[in-house]
Amino acid sequence: MPETAETNLRAGRREWIGLAVLAFPCFLISMDFTVLHLAVPKITADLAPSSTQLLWIVDIYGFFIASSLITMGTLGDRIGRRKLLLIGAAAFGVASAIAAFANSASTLIATRALLGVAGATLMPSTMALLRNMFHDEHQRRFAIAMWINAFVVGGAIGPILGGIMLEHFWWGSVFLLNVPVMALLLVLGPIFLPEFRDPNPGKPDISSSVLSLFAVLFVIYGVKRIAQDGVGSVPLLAIAIGIALAAVFVARQKRLEHPFIDLELFREAPFSSSVATQLIATITFGGLYLIVSQYLQLVVGLSPLRAGMALLPATVVGIIGTFAAPAIVKKVPSSYVMPAGMLFTTIGIFAITRITPSSSLALLVGAYMIMSFGINIAITLTTDMIMTVAPPERAGAASGISETSAELGAALGVAIMGSISTAYYRGALGETLPAGLPADVARNAMATIGGAVKSAANLNDAMRSELIDNARDAFTGSLALVAQVCAVLVLATGIIVLFVLRRSEAPTILRSES
């Protein structure tokens, strides 16, 4: 390639400043997923929501982000990604200000829903703009690593920053953190971010938009309800409705001259393999994180803060993994590196299967670090593949698909792995309950390990020690079983992806340029 052509491909100062601007909304969106959980006690005391309202206050943000991603990604392709980003930033800032001063549970629910829709405009817009700003493949991978880490850092800092705000101010202060950042985005965005839209978008299809939104919304709702309350007729019906709507959506896309989503993208091995890898990776990470967090607190006995700190090294190593991926693929094709990342992940997960109640904390921390390193390498490269395979004019829709798979995977991970863990725990503990245990204590202990620890407080020393030890053994066994399932899933996915990518015609993204 001539030197002048290479120079024209490479991003300059304006693009790198633009990347920093794009990191702002990514950081805040991720932070808003975690920060509200800390505020729940103060919200409950101030607004006195019913139990149902409290669930909606916590969950509706994620519901509307997940269900709106595909719609907003496609909308950005049509009206302009920078334009949609700025509209979303303004809506996010206004909704945050209203939420901060909400005087009723219903108002807070409504503003959290608006925050979810606004967040869904920001996520695919930022990802799609990277496709237009960074044309050099090595620079683009590094930019994607920065983009991913904005979400990682936001999720990690959210509880810390939220805790500081809640210690000194009222619960609404956590929402006001969003306002100055969104205002800054509105000022800097038009200066440093390019505009891009599909030059031939075709006629808008409202029906497809509605179908995609409600299909994902029903599935996510059903999966989250199963994770929270167990299998029931209502969540199963919701999932069935969502799947039916998705089938109607797909059938409609095949008939349209200008489809809402180009289903031909899934015929490209790098695209379909990357979406599948993201789904499995987030199922694994979401499910394991839920159970490992409980293990650290209820088996090892760490406080919530110390449990979070114990997983901090994995977060740091994961960040290193996202930056290592662009460097590695300069020498080794992505079609090898991505499965290698899944293999690293499998090794870390397999180490978790060896954990017992008496294991050193270092074993879990080390295993989680290996897993985090591998999974972040894989996610960085899958994101790059998705954005590169998709035509520039469809990058918004592709990013919506990518992020929807990640949101759905996280919800499925909690539901599926949580259900496996619960089933094993109840079966194992049911066989080892101390003789003469009061019925109410046995019922609470069988429900959750937290219930076992709490209920054991009123027992005599011998019975309390036996119940807690047996509950911890049962829960650790459930963690090992979930880790085994996750290891098989990840390893199988890595092997399949390796063969699929190597057998496909290798596009540019699967080759390294010297």
pLDDT averages per 10-residue partition of the chain, 514 residues: 48 81 81 70 79 74 79 79 89 91 88 88 81 79 84 76 77 84 88 77 74 84 75 86 90 78 78 86 84 85 77 87 87 86 92 88 91 90 82 73 79 80 86 80 80 78 82 90 93 89 56 38
What homologous superfamily does CATH list for 268-505? MFS general substrate transporter like domains (1.20.1250.20)
DSSP annotation of 239: H
- Mind giving me the DSSP string for 173-216? HHHHTHHHHHHHHHHHHHHH------SS--S--HHHHHHHHHHH
What pLDDT is attached to residue 8? 56
- CB neighbours of 167 closer than 8 A, spacing ≥ 6? none
**C-beta of residue 206 within 8 angstroms of C-beta of residue 256:** no
HSE-up of residue 241 (Cα within 13 Å, Cβ side): 15
Domain boundaries, the chain: 13-198, 203-257, 268-505
DSSP annotation of 433: P
What's the pLDDT tens digit per position in 211-268?
Answer: 888 888 888 888 777 766 777 888 889 889 989 998 998 888 788 777 777 777 788 8
Using DSSP's 3-state secondary structure scheme, residue 366 falls into helix
Query: Do 13-198 and 268-505 fold alike per CATH?
Result: yes
∠ Cα 216 72 54 (to 5°): 55
**C-beta of residue 79 within 8 angstroms of C-beta of residue 203:** no
Say how many residues make up the chain: 514
The span from the CA of 369 to the CA of 349, in Å, is: 10
pTM of the model: 0.78
What pLDDT is attached to residue 256? 76
**From the CA atom positions of the chain, what is the Rg in Å?**
23
For the domain made up of 13-198, the CATH class stated in words is mainly alpha
What pLDDT is attached to residue 4? 39
CA-nearest of 322, 380, 374 to 348 is 374
Helix, strand and coil content of the chain, in percent to the nearest 5, comes to 85, 0, 15
What pLDDT is attached to residue 202? 64
- CB neighbours of 185 closer than 8 A, spacing ≥ 6? 21, 24, 25, 85, 86, 89
